[in-house]
């Protein structure tokens, strides 16, 4: 199969991997806001044909299934930054990909992302989300460090100090063994890695954008 990189796209609140060999093939994994390993200037719109398994909520390779439930994944890269992705359905006619519709979608995304003001707005939004994620990771890492420190402390504190410690680490009294500690640490780490759905509307609205505006007099 060889080396590849991966874009992660969201659908119905869950993440799904879309592999690509167009870039450095360094097994990098990119989410919205990440810089790809071979950045370029300008707007680049990529697409891939996939199958959405609605029962298992998984994104599979399209050729493994019938075309009826196939979809198209679009990925947008602006000046080397992965800025947007969406999964669109109804792109097939008589079990064949509607290439004209895909072409129109690519023109649509290219048109709206060539707007420099959109770049600035999106970059600010991306930075804000990244900062929130970093703050969450730091808090959870500090909590994990605290549980480990308190569990391994020689001699247990009593009185007021111990009561304050229990307020910060409510699961401390339930940790009797290293297995208990690992379980608590795993729960904290898992909660930090949960990615919530932003609720952004990713549906295409072709009539809202004039992709030829740049060329009109």
pLDDT tens-place string over residues 153-200: 755 555 445 667 778 888 888 888 899 999 999 988 887 766 544 444
Rounded CA-CA distance 51/97 in Å is 13
Compute and round to an integer the Cα radius of gyration of the chain. Answer: 23
3-state secondary structure of 118: helix
**Whether the predicted pLDDT of 212 surpasses 70:** no
Cβ of 170: how many Cβ atoms within 10 Å? 8
- 36-79 residue pLDDT tens: 888 678 899 999 989 888 888 888 887 655 666 788 999 999 99
Cβ of 5: how many Cβ atoms within 10 Å? 20
CA atoms within 13 A on the CB side of 212: 4
CB burial class (10 A; 0-12, 13-18, 19+) of residue 104? Answer: middle
pTM for this structure? Answer: 0.67
Cβ of 58: how many Cβ atoms within 10 Å? 13
String of DSSP letters for 179-206: HHHHHHHHHHHHHHH------------G
* Spatial CB neighbours of 54, under 8 Å, sequence gap ≥ 6: 69
Q: Are 51 and 59 in contact (CB under 8 A)?
A: yes
- 107-149 residue pLDDT tens: 999 998 988 888 788 888 888 888 888 888 898 999 999 889 8
| Reported confidence tier of residue 83, pLDDT bands at 50, 70, 90 | very high
Beta bridge partners of 84: 76
Q: What is the pLDDT of residue 162?
A: 65
Rounded CA-CA distance 203/103 in Å is 16
Higher pLDDT: 159 or 101? It is 101
Element (H, E) at 41: none
């Amino acid at each position: 199969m060889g080396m590849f990189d991966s874009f992660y796209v969201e659908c119905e609140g869950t993440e799904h991997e879309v592999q690509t060999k167009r870039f450095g093939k360094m097994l990098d994994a990119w989410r919205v806001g990440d810089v790809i390993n071979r950045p370029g200037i300008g707007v680049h719109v990529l697409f891939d044909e996939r199958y959405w398994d609605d029962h298992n909520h998984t994104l599979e390779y399209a050729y493994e299934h019938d075309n009826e439930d196939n979809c198209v994944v679009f990925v947008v890269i602006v000046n080397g930054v992965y800025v947007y992705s969406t999964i669109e359905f109804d792109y097939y006619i008589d079990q064949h990909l509607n290439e004209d519709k895909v072409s129109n979608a690519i023109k649509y995304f290219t048109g709206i992302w060539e707007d420099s003001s959109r770049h600035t707005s999106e970059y600010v939004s991306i930075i804000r989300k990244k900062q929130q994620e970093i703050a969450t990771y730091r808090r959870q890492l500090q909590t994990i460090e605290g549980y480990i420190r308190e569990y391994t402390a020689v001699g247990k504190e009593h009185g007021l100090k111990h009561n304050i410690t229990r307020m910060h680490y409510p699961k401390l009294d339930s940790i009797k063994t290293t297995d208990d500690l690992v379980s608590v640490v795993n729960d904290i780490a898992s909660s930090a890695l949960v990615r919530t759905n932003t609720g952004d509307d990713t549906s295409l609205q072709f009539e809202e954008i004039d992709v030829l505006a740049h060329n009109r007099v």
